[in-house]
Amino acid sequence: MHVVYLIQHDKTHQIYIGRTNNLKRRLREHNSQQQTSTIRKDGQWVLIYAEAYRDKADADAREQKLKQHGTAKHKLKLRIVHSLLRNQN
* Count of other CB atoms within 10 angstroms of residue 23: 19
Name residues whose C-beta falls within 8 Å of residue 65's C-beta, 6 or more positions apart in sequence.
Answer: 72, 73
Q: For position 88, what pLDDT does the model report?
A: 53
pLDDT tens-digit map of 54-84? 999 999 999 999 999 889 999 999 999 999 9
pLDDT tens-digit map of 8-34? 999 999 999 999 999 999 999 999 987
Which of 2, 4, 10, 12 has the alpha carbon at shortest distance from 73? 4
Which of 21, 45, 49, 48 has the alpha carbon at shortest distance from 31? 45
Q: Kindly list the domain boundaries of the chain, sorted by start residue.
A: 2-79
Q: pTM of this prediction?
A: 0.89
CATH architecture assigned to 2-79:
3-Layer(aba) Sandwich (3.40)
49 forms bridges with which residues in the sheet? 6
**Can you tell me the distance from the alpha carbon of 59 to that of 54, in angstroms, rounded to the nearest whole number?**
8
* Phi, psi torsion values for 80, nearest 5 degrees: -110, 20
